[in-house]
A and B are shown apart, each in its own frame.
Chain A
């Protein structure tokens, strides 16, 4: 802190208060001349120049942690303990929480949402360190509403400018299968249902990879896909006794929740596998139903790249399907020249592919079964915004006096 006054020797104004062996001295920083030293007491005139520093402006205020930060840190620590995360995660999560609470957008959040902030920080930390943690898990641990959590998470990502990598499905499979009870002997689990973890894991990962190549994963919630894939893998490892076990029973035995979309994912997976099975030459004689597919799942997965390529036409090959000698004429896709200006008609592709028939394109299911009809673009109505507005057009929007009277009478009765 530079004091007032000038050095008597060199005349410079840069005086510094320095300490020489803990004795305060007023020194000129240009020539080193000591102006005064050992100021233990101040005179009344000196005190006039001293300003009182309020506690709120001193650093003591900032060093004290606010109550919500303390509460939030405790919650983060508890979460990390329950999830058995490494110690480094906890520090990172708490630092994110501190940064977030300094942000004006989060300081004024409702109490309900502040409680979710700790969970969001933990989720971000886990994602950045490739630790597969789903939002569903965090929500259930915090007893949080899913939409509230989603809102807080997205605003946290935006305000702090964090780049959060996407959830890795391979890791998610590993942690999800860890919670399955079918992997250890238990009282209510028949011996035929027990499964070795490594084998189940490897096969489930393979099925999930196949699903992602077949466009079943993009845009969808990951957990139902993993559940359906685990079910198929488990069935195929010992089809005999397990084929009759439905998905719901499997989930109950495994001790996991059955997410509602899992049935649909299972159906889609089976459809893809049936298509692939149609290309295996030694399965030509068999009817392509679920049982055959599950029994031969291992072989289908082993040759999945080749089978996928053969069973389904890649995008862009649709137009070449009408080559002569391929498929029944009644099933042929539309002529290559689509009508001018209109979108390509996407016929819903129902049923499994037949060998020799036209191949279904490998597209996301939302493109194969479009729920909405493409709407034609509306014709340009107003050329400028300044057309004259006719009174008669506006009359239709005004109530007549009789209507107003009737309405007021009706309102008075209510």
Chain B
């Protein structure tokens, strides 16, 4: 046997056959195609193949147990609940595919909470990004004596030569706060919006107990960071070729690819191991939406098994 291949470098051609179909879509086209997909919610899905043994194994091996968990995809923010119900009904047969009778049974429509987005008609990733960090700010609306606070609080550190704020930490929820003398406070480290709010309230209470008339005004979440794993390695060189206007990949500087998504305005760090970090969101839904936007792009760079 002799492999007959030319020495022309195939260094960075994406390995999948889908790369020809990957247009350099602008973000508006991306959201447009998503809207087209959601329009298929009323389409008859009986053409889906019957669940055979091979299908079952493939489903189990590929998507694992994400399809058996609650399917969470992305949701355009102004979609009404009627369409939500439709999508949930058509997605559940897909979820229950490992059981043979699934395609005939329409499972009961579970009411979806507004925060959990619905699935789209095409394949959803089934992967939910986990929130890792929330940064929020709040205004305590009173001038603070930082030296006094550092003296009277156990969990505070204050080094005016290094930084002009008190750094305070609490154990539950495990967070850190920067408290400035103007009364403004930044709270970081929480894993959910509610935890961030609870932590900020605890800091405000501590400041109150220290003798300052602290209030709790204008609590606002400034940044949310999430991360997840797509479970397959990604050809970053190919991704930067097809999405040049959004991606920046400098292996000499940083091992990951920085993808600046336009809608929603989120920055994603994509690594060769398949791990994705999403940051710059003000809401949880932006992170989910950004991930659902990037997942089909990344799947195009998965080597076909």
Contact = CB atoms under 8 A, between A and B. Distances in A.
B55 to A, nearest CB: 14
A95 interface: no
Nearest to B305: A316
A286 interface: no
Interface string A350-386: 0000000000000110110000000001101111111
B153 interface: yes
6 smallest beta-carbon distances between A and B, as pairs:
A316-B305, A385-B197, A219-B255, A385-B194, A219-B272, A218-B272
A219 B251 contact: yes
A218 B237 contact: yes
Given A167-B252, A338-B65, A399 B154 contact: yes
A327 interface: no
B151 A378 contact: no
A209 interface: yes
Contact of B7 (A205, A319, A343, A403): A205
Interface stretch (B25-33, B240-248, B285-293): B240-248
Contact of A398 (B60, B210, B241, B303): B210
A209 B9 contact: yes
A407 B154 CA distance: 11
Contacts of A349: none
B152 A399 contact: yes
Contacts of A209: 9-11
A135 B256 CA distance: 17
Interface in A332-353: 336-338, 340-341, 343-344
A386 B231 CA distance: 37
A368 to B, nearest CB: 10
Given A218-B237, A218-B272, A219-B256, A381 B11 contact: no
Contact of A389 (B191, B196, B201): B201
Contact of A385 (B130, B193, B241, B271): B193
A215 B153 CA distance: 52
Nearest to B155: A397
A6 interface: no
Nearest to B65: A340
Contacts of A397: 153-155, 168, 170, 206
17 contacts: A135-B250, A154-B253, A164-B248, A165-B241, A165-B244, A166-B250, A170-B9, A208-B11, A215-B272, A302-B3, A315-B302, A319-B57, A344-B64, A366-B273, A381-B173, A382-B173, A397-B154
Given A205-B9, A398-B154, 6 more contacts: A166-B250, A212-B12, A218-B235, A343-B231, A364-B272, A389-B202
A316 B151 CA distance: 59
Nearest to A304: B3
A206 B7 contact: yes
B62 to A, nearest CB: 7
Q: How large is the interface on A (under 10, 10 to 19, 20 to 34, 35 or more residues)?
A: 35 or more
Contacts of A222: 251-252
B231 A344 contact: yes
B232 interface: yes
Interface of B: 1-3, 5, 7, 9-12, 57, 60-62, 64-65, 68-69, 130, 151-155, 168, 170, 172-173, 191-198, 201-202, 205-206, 209-210, 229, 231-237, 240-241, 244-245, 248-253, 255-256, 271-274, 302-303, 305
Nearest to A222: B251
B41 to A, nearest CB: 28
Interface of A: 134-136, 150, 153-154, 157, 163-170, 202, 205-206, 208-209, 212, 215, 217-222, 302-306, 314-317, 319, 336-338, 340-341, 343-344, 363-364, 366-367, 377-378, 380-387, 389, 393-394, 396-399, 403-404, 407-408
Contacts of A343: 229, 231
Contacts of A367: 233, 273-274
B302 A221 contact: no
Given A364-B233, A383-B194, A341 B253 contact: no
A315 B194 contact: no
A118 B173 CA distance: 48
Contacts of A154: 248, 250, 253
User: Residue among A165, A398, A408 with the most chain B CB within 10 A?
Assistant: A398
A327 B209 CA distance: 67
A210 to B, nearest CB: 10
A66 B249 CA distance: 34
A343 B127 CA distance: 11
Contacts of A302: 2-3
Nearest to B257: A219
B151 A408 contact: yes
Contacts of B172: 381, 393
Contact of B3 (A157, A303, A394, A407): A303
